[in-house]
Amino acid sequence: MPRGQGFKGFLNYVRRNPAFGAGIVLLLLLFLFSTVATLFVEKDGAYPLAAMPKQPPGGEYPFGTDSVGRDLLPTLIYGTQMTLAIGMIAGVIGLVVGTVLGFMTGYFGGIFDTIIKFLVDVLMTIPSFLLLVVIASSLPNPEEMSVLTMGLTLSIVAWVQPTRAIRAQVLSMRERAFVMMSKLSGMSGMEIIIRELMPNLMPYLAISLAGAVNGGVLGSLGLQGYWWWIIEPVIVIALIFISFLLLSIGLDEFANPRTRRTV
Amino acid sequence: MRIPLSYVIKRIGFLIAVLFTAATINFLIPKLAPRDPVTELINQKIASGGMTSEGAKEFGDSLKKLYGLDKPLWQQYLTYIWNMMRFDLGYSIVNYPQKVSTIIGQTVYWTLGFVSVSTLLAFVLGTVIGALVGWSKTSKYLSWLMPPLAMFSAIPAFILALVLIYLLAFKAKAFPLRGGYSTTIDKDWSNPKFLLDVAHHAVLPGLAMLLTSIGGWSLSMRAMMVTVEGADYMTFAEAKGLKGSRLFFRYALRNTLLPQVTALAMQLGLIVSGATLVEGMFSYPGIGNRLGGAIRALDYPLIYGIVFFMVVGIAVATLIVDLIYPLLDPRISYGG
């Protein structure tokens, strides 16, 4: 944990754990880029008929325009921002629900575990493509759905995979000697989960979050069917994934104190 | 350790319950779409000039009657469950009069071929890379492999497929653009030339699946490896003076492989449906491509048939994992 307080303490910590620092910086940069860019580019161009259709890149339209007259620069910027927001909502909800359910069912077992496992096993069998096509055709106009609605729609299925994966990890970890020790020392189940199991699975949770956000982004692309948005979101997803990977490497020292470096 | 019979019976009961519920949910989901496949099919036929509008109405009514689509939903559901229980998958609407089971039979081996090879290869390569990167006594330069692998795993397989088609098939012309075999060669499975042609066609879709899934395997393996290396029994084994290779293979690998193997079994269960979009990109003659087409056209019997086939695959994979799990990890007991 950081020596010293506040920002200085954090700087000290990052110097000792560069991977963690790099991950955070990369995430901040991505966030800044997606918000700052919207200050300089007007959203109006992102709608059909806003510009001359099929203009090549250059001059007034740095990225050109598409066949229905959308200026591609604002389309990409606002599209990426929306797509990411949807992915984040679905991914974070998916991982939080998955973490709570995974830890509770994996550690405590019992009838609750059987019910959740049953649900997960059933939901795993639904092809996501089928679900997306059905949702997309049931919505009156998917383009008018708000970011929040779309994120929430996707989070209906986003928790299934994390729950299953985390439960499997917890199942194996709860039989370890250090959990036994904690039990014998009189810790309650919740204490063991939060103080012993969680830190051990930190790197795993970071990577799962990246996977869940990724799934949300892909799902939103499927829902909207805006295929021309895809290249930029893919680059952004790749960057997000790398920053989570760095965070995950940085979190290793919680799971394995022997990897902790000193400066 | 022997597997207790009561556990097996309980587990099979669970399996049947899962199958039944999954079949019910997968019956209802396509029905939720406010679309009518028969009308869509007829409109298509009229538009292409293959039918007059009067003849089309009659044809549509008879189709609906034939598929029981004019009956109330509960009746359709009962018929569906009864048919699934007898493994009677019925006839496709769009490809009438082809039987769904015939379509599955003609397409499934194409998918099984390239997806199982790429899944297994990705599992082995990813696990080995992840284990080596996570193990602290290997070269630090190995960890440079992780960011590019992570990047590939963040890209959806069908997008990578598109890039591969453009670079290697369209520009470099090293691989065929589409399909599962050349139409210029006789479809004869005993002809080595045809087999080579099939393999040649399977390289790009396989590569798209492989490159995008290696990252996931290596990331999870690396994380587990780091955790296990910090465990007390590893410190103890090291203090005993055991050789590095023994520590790696017998202590670390044995403990980290477990979640990997579980995930692999699940992945094998998903083989059939896992490549829907990639197959679509290549117009590959596999089952995923057929499922994609069936979903788009809302061809109920074909969707139900393929999904049922898939559900059975996943359920059996889960059952096998649960049965062998305690054999792999003696710390886990046969509970519920």
Q: What is the pLDDT of residue A97?
A: 94
Q: Look at residue B25 and tell me if it is in a domain.
A: no
Q: Angle between the A147-158 and A198-224 helix axes, to the nearest 10 degrees?
A: 120
Per DSSP, the three-state class of A65 is strand
Confidence of residue B336 (pLDDT cuts 50, 70, 90): very low
d(CA B121, CA B134): 20
In a domain, B41, yes or no: no
Identify the domain containing residue B196 by its residue range: 108-287
| pLDDT attached to residue A236 | 73
What whole-number distance in Å separates Cα of residue A130 and Cα of residue A115?
Answer: 25
User: Pick from A127, A138, A249: which is nearest to B33 by CB?
Assistant: A138
Which B positions 142-171 lie with beta carbon below 8 A of chain A?
A: 143, 146-147, 150-151, 153-156, 159
Query: In sequence order, which residues have a C-beta less than 8 Å from that of residue B101 and are 6 or more positions away?
Result: B87, B89, B305
In a domain, B251, yes or no: yes
Count up the domains in chain A and report the number. Answer: 1
Q: A243 in a domain, yes or no?
A: yes
SS3 A41: coil
Average pLDDT of A45-73?
A: 67
For residue B298, give both structure tokens.
């809302």
CA distance readout (Å), A29 to A13, A33, A75, A210, A211? 20, 6, 20, 17, 20
Domain that holds residue A139: 17-259
pLDDT band at B198 (very low <50, low <70, confident <90, very high): confident
Beta carbons of A183 and A228 less than 8 angstroms apart: no
Query: What is the spatial distance between Cα B318 and Cα B16, in angstroms, rounded to a whole number?
Result: 12
pLDDT band at B206 (very low <50, low <70, confident <90, very high): very high
CB–CB of A73/A45 below 8 Å? yes
Angle between helices B232-239 and A177-184 (to 10 degrees): 120
Q: How far is CA B140 from CA A15, A223, B135, B143, in A?
A: 19, 42, 10, 6
pLDDT value of residue A256: 66
pLDDT band at B37 (very low <50, low <70, confident <90, very high): confident
Measured in angstroms, the CA of A17 and the nearest CA of chain B are apart by 16
DSSP B99: B
Element (H, E) at A116: helix A110-124
Q: How confident is the model at residue A226 (pLDDT cuts 50, 70, 90)?
A: low
pLDDT tens column, B124-145: 999 999 999 888 877 777 777 8
Rounded-to-integer distance, Cα B137 and Cα A213, Å: 33
* Distance of alpha carbon A119 from alpha carbon A154, whole angstroms: 17
Question: Residues of chain A with pLDDT > 70: what percent?
Answer: 75
Q: Report yes or no on B157 lying in a domain.
A: yes
Q: A28 is written with which tokens?
A: 């901040």
A92-96, B76-80, B176-180, B236-240, range with the lowest pLDDT: B176-180
Cα–Cα distances in angstroms (integers) from residue A189 to residues A28, A182, B231, in the given order: 36, 9, 21
Q: Does pLDDT of B334 surpass 70?
A: no
Residue A71 β-bridge partners: A65
What is the SS3 assignment for B188?
coil
Is there a domain that residue B261 lies in? yes
Of A92-101, A147-156, B108-117, the range with the lowest mean pLDDT is A147-156
CA distance A174 to B26: 35
B259-302 pLDDT tens trace: 788 788 778 777 776 678 888 888 888 888 888 888 888 888 99
Residue A146, pLDDT > 80, answer no
Give B91's strand partners.
B99
Tokens of A46: 């992102």
pLDDT grade for A1, boundaries at 50, 70 and 90:
very low
| pLDDT the model gives residue B38 | 82
- The overall average pLDDT reported for chain A is 77
Query: Is residue B63 pLDDT above 90, yes or no?
Result: no
The whole-angstrom separation of Cα B130 and Cα A20 is: 19
Residues contacting B268, CB < 8 A, separation 6+? B116, B119, B317
Task: Give domain status of residue A143, yes or no.
Answer: yes
Alpha helices, H only, B135-240: 146-154, 157-164, 192-229, 232-239
- Confidence band, pLDDT 50/70/90 cuts, at residue A144: low
Contact B153, B214 (CB under 8 A): yes
CATH number of the domain to which A26 belongs: 1.10.3720
Q: Which of the four pLDDT bands, split at 50, 70 and 90, describes residue A56?
A: low
Report chain B residues whose CB lies below 8 A from the CB of A121. 18, 22, 314-315, 318
pLDDT for A166: 87
pLDDT at B335 over 60: no
For chain B, state the CA radius of gyration: 25
SS3 B156: coil
pLDDT on residue A2: 44
Count of CB pairs separated by less than 8 Å, A with B: 148
Cα–Cα distance, B22 to B318 (Å, whole number): 14
Distance between CA atoms of residues A166 and A103, nearest Å: 7
A3 burial class (0-12, 13-18, 19+ CB within 10 angstroms)? exposed
Nearest chain A Cα distance for residue B147, angstroms? 6
Tokens 């496992």 map to which residue?
A117
Which A residues 149-188 touch B at CB under 8 Å?
Answer: 164-165, 168-169, 171-172, 175-178
Asked whether the beta carbons of residue B150 and residue A245 sit closer than 8 angstroms, the reply is yes
Closest CA of chain A from B217, distance in Å: 11
Quick one: B56 exposed, middle or buried, by C-beta within 10 A (0-12, 13-18, 19+)? Answer: middle
**Interface with B, mutate which of A121, A160, A167, A202 (most B CBs under 10 A):** A121
Does B215 reside within a domain? yes
How far is Cα A195 from Cα A190, in angstroms, rounded to an integer?
Answer: 8
Confidence of residue B24 (pLDDT cuts 50, 70, 90): very high
Task: Please list, in sequence order, all residues whose beta carbon lies within 8 angstroms of the beta carbon of residue B192, skipping any fewer than 6 positions away.
Answer: none
Q: What is the dihedral of CA A10, A15, A16, A20, to 10 degrees?
A: 70
Looking at the predicted structure, is the pLDDT value of residue A227 above 60?
Answer: no
Question: Does A35 score more than 80 pLDDT?
Answer: no
| Number of structural domains chain B divides into | 1
Can you give the pLDDT at residue A5?
Answer: 64
Alpha-carbon gap, residue A44 to A37, rounded angstroms: 14
Say what the pLDDT of residue A263 is.
Answer: 44
Structure confidence at residue B77 as a pLDDT band (50, 70, 90): very high
Q: Give all strands (DSSP E) within chain A, no chain letters.
A: none
Encoded amino acid at A96, one letter: V
Average pLDDT, whole number, for chain B? 83
User: Hey, what amino acid is at B108?
Assistant: V
Question: For residue B99, what are the β-bridge partners?
Answer: B91
pLDDT tens by residue, A233-249:
677 777 877 887 788 77
Q: Indicate whether A10 belongs to any domain.
A: no
pLDDT category at A230 given cuts 50, 70, 90 is: low
Q: Which CATH number covers residue B188?
A: 1.10.3720.10
Quick check: A212 and A94 in contact, CB under 8 A? yes
Average pLDDT estimate for A53-61: 68
Name residue, tokens 């699946």: B209
- Peptide bond between residue A57 and the one before it cis (omega within 30 degrees of 0): no
